[in-house]
Chains A and B, each alone.
Chain A
């Protein structure tokens, strides 16, 4: 059996709006990925631990609350602490253009802002998962 790309879709922090995350999850499923959907209001520790146990290739986080500059890099750091670094980390949601460079420096590979076609996310994952 060929390898299936596994993606954790998670929403960190205090933000209950998960429609966008569900749309992305569905699009990834339709692209043939296995999506582990973990729902809303997760701590970075919970996201990193779930990503470790599920041995996903990609951690996809969506955030609308404005706390991305703290929470996204925290997930990257906790994954490293747990010895599960090396996963492709991507983010999405309402993220100001000005913050993106900082997030990338902190280990988030790509950031998708509202209006991005889901096909672009799929292509990005296919091109960048080792």
Chain B
């Protein structure tokens, strides 16, 4: 397949088109992924999450520059929300990464959430794999930034960086479930603002309570991204985390779990598509829906029967 060959030979046009194919679920997408799969698994994938306005894009821009100074190539996937009404989106994170545009060692791609968060996470991880196969050393995935429940990123990332800013919410926020549980490294950005000390104290208290990360206590770094302050220290910490996960076997464990959940998700998707396809072909599905709606049958027995018929 030409696009795969060109991509592996370093064509950025082919790289861009491959991501589009995956994003739009073109027929050739599966073939592209099949052929690229053996070339993946080398990149260090860093997820960047946190509330809107925390400065994730600016921080990503600075981190990418720091990695470039260290001689590494960088891929960036920047995710922004899709409008639930029009299906359109404004993807504006590139604005904060303009200097990186002409650096040949950097490739930035914006993605809209396009309605389904579950579907997005698969497409995101496929885009990550494409950048990985292309040869990027470090890949940043900047999440949509909806905050507390945006935790899907850990399924894709080797290292999850949670970015917080002073002045959002009280200390109960810090002990809720959600993004505070998934961080491997924390950055308090805009740390020149009032409230940075208090946020750090609260965050420290919360992390001390956390039993799950006994052998890796997530470090907290302070940054002022738009002034480039604290960036090299943050990169050092990210590198320490990846070194730690290599040494402790945590990375292997994470990747095994990732492979497992990817397989399951694919299986799930293909099974339901195949079953629905069969039912639709026979015009059965609408009949079943109608009978359930009239309360003649219940959904549990209907599903049971569908599966029984299929497994015969």
| Stretch touching chain A among B91-99, B158-166, B182-190, B200-208 | B91-99
Instruction: Kindly state whether residue A49 has any CB partner on chain B within 8 Å.
Output: yes
Chain B residues with CB below 8 A from A52, complex form: 12-13, 16
Asked whether, in the complex, the Cβ of B24 is within 8 Å of the Cβ of A50, the reply is no
| CB-CB under 8 A for A30 and B110, given A35-B91, A37-B95, A82-B13 | no
Specify which of B11, B88, B109, B112 lies most central, judged by the most chain A CB atoms within 10 Å of its CB: B88
Chain B residues with CB below 8 A from A50, complex form: 94, 101, 108
Instruction: Kindly state whether residue A84 has any CB partner on chain B within 8 Å.
Output: yes
Q: How far is the CB of B2 from chain A (nearest CB, A)?
A: 13
Asked whether, in the complex, the Cβ of A42 is within 8 Å of the Cβ of B98, the reply is yes
A38 interface neighbour in B16, B20, B95, Cβ under 8 Å: B95
Q: How far is the CB of A74 from chain B (nearest CB, A)?
A: 14
Instruction: Kindly state whether residue A130 has any CB partner on chain B within 8 Å.
Output: no
- B14-35 CB mask vs A (1 if < 8 Å, else 0) is 0011011001110000000000
Instruction: Kindly state whether residue A28 has any CB partner on chain B within 8 Å.
Output: yes
Q: How far is the CB of A46 from chain B (nearest CB, A)?
A: 5
Q: Which residue from chain A places its CB closest to the CB of B14 in the assembled complex?
A: A83
Main secondary structure of the interface of B (DSSP, over half): mixed
Chain B residues with CB below 8 A from A77, complex form: none
Instruction: Kindly state whether residue B90 has any CB partner on chain A within 8 Å.
Output: yes
Instruction: Kindly state whether residue B114 has any CB partner on chain A within 8 Å.
Output: yes
Asked whether, in the complex, the Cβ of A37 is within 8 Å of the Cβ of B92, the reply is yes
Chain B residues with CB below 8 A from A120, complex form: none
B88 interface neighbour in A33, A39, A82, Cβ under 8 Å: A33
Q: Which residue from chain B places its CB closest to the CB of A9 in the assembled complex?
A: B90
Chain A residues with CB below 8 A from B13, complex form: 52, 82-84
Asked whether, in the complex, the Cβ of B90 is within 8 Å of the Cβ of A29, the reply is yes
A34 interface neighbour in B12, B89, B108, Cβ under 8 Å: B89
| CB-CB under 8 A for A26 and B87, given A38-B98, A53-B108 | no
Instruction: Kindly state whether residue B195 has any CB partner on chain A within 8 Å.
Output: no
Q: How far is the CB of B82 from chain A (nearest CB, A)?
A: 8
Q: How far is the CB of B60 from chain A (nearest CB, A)?
A: 15
Chain A residues with CB below 8 A from B25, complex form: 1
Instruction: Kindly state whether residue B107 has any CB partner on chain A within 8 Å.
Output: yes
Asked whether, in the complex, the Cβ of A31 is within 8 Å of the Cβ of B16, the reply is no
Instruction: Kindly state whether residue B83 has any CB partner on chain A within 8 Å.
Output: yes
Instruction: Kindly state whether residue A32 has any CB partner on chain B within 8 Å.
Output: yes
| CB-CB under 8 A for A31 and B86, given A39-B98, A52-B12 | yes
Which chain A residues numbered 27 to 86 have a C-beta less than 8 Å away from chain B? 28-39, 42, 45-46, 49-50, 52-55, 82-84
Chain B residues with CB below 8 A from A19, complex form: none
Which chain B residues numbered 177 to 232 have a C-beta less than 8 Å away from chain A? none
**Bound-complex Cα distance A84 to B11 (A):** 11
Q: How far is the CB of B102 from chain A (nearest CB, A)?
A: 6
| CB-CB under 8 A for A4 and B86, given A37-B95, A49-B102, A54-B110 | no
Asked whether, in the complex, the Cβ of A4 is within 8 Å of the Cβ of B94, the reply is no
Q: Which residue from chain A places its CB closest to the CB of B110 in the assembled complex?
A: A36
Asked whether, in the complex, the Cβ of A28 is within 8 Å of the Cβ of B24, the reply is no
Q: How far is the CB of B5 from chain A (nearest CB, A)?
A: 15
A46 interface neighbour in B17, B92, B98, B109, Cβ under 8 Å: B98
Asked whether, in the complex, the Cβ of A46 is within 8 Å of the Cβ of B86, the reply is no
Q: Which residue from chain A places its CB closest to the CB of B85 in the assembled complex?
A: A30
| CB-CB under 8 A for A29 and B102, given A50-B94, A52-B12, A82-B13 | no
Instruction: Kindly state whether residue B277 has any CB partner on chain A within 8 Å.
Output: no
**Bound-complex Cα distance A46 to B94 (A):** 11
Nearest 6 Cβ contacts at the A-B interface? A29-B88, A55-B16, A39-B95, A32-B87, A55-B20, A32-B88
22 A-B pairs (CB sep. < 8 Å): A1-B23, A1-B25, A1-B114, A29-B90, A30-B83, A30-B88, A31-B86, A32-B86, A32-B87, A35-B88, A36-B91, A37-B94, A37-B95, A38-B94, A39-B98, A46-B98, A52-B13, A52-B16, A53-B12, A53-B109, A54-B109, A55-B17
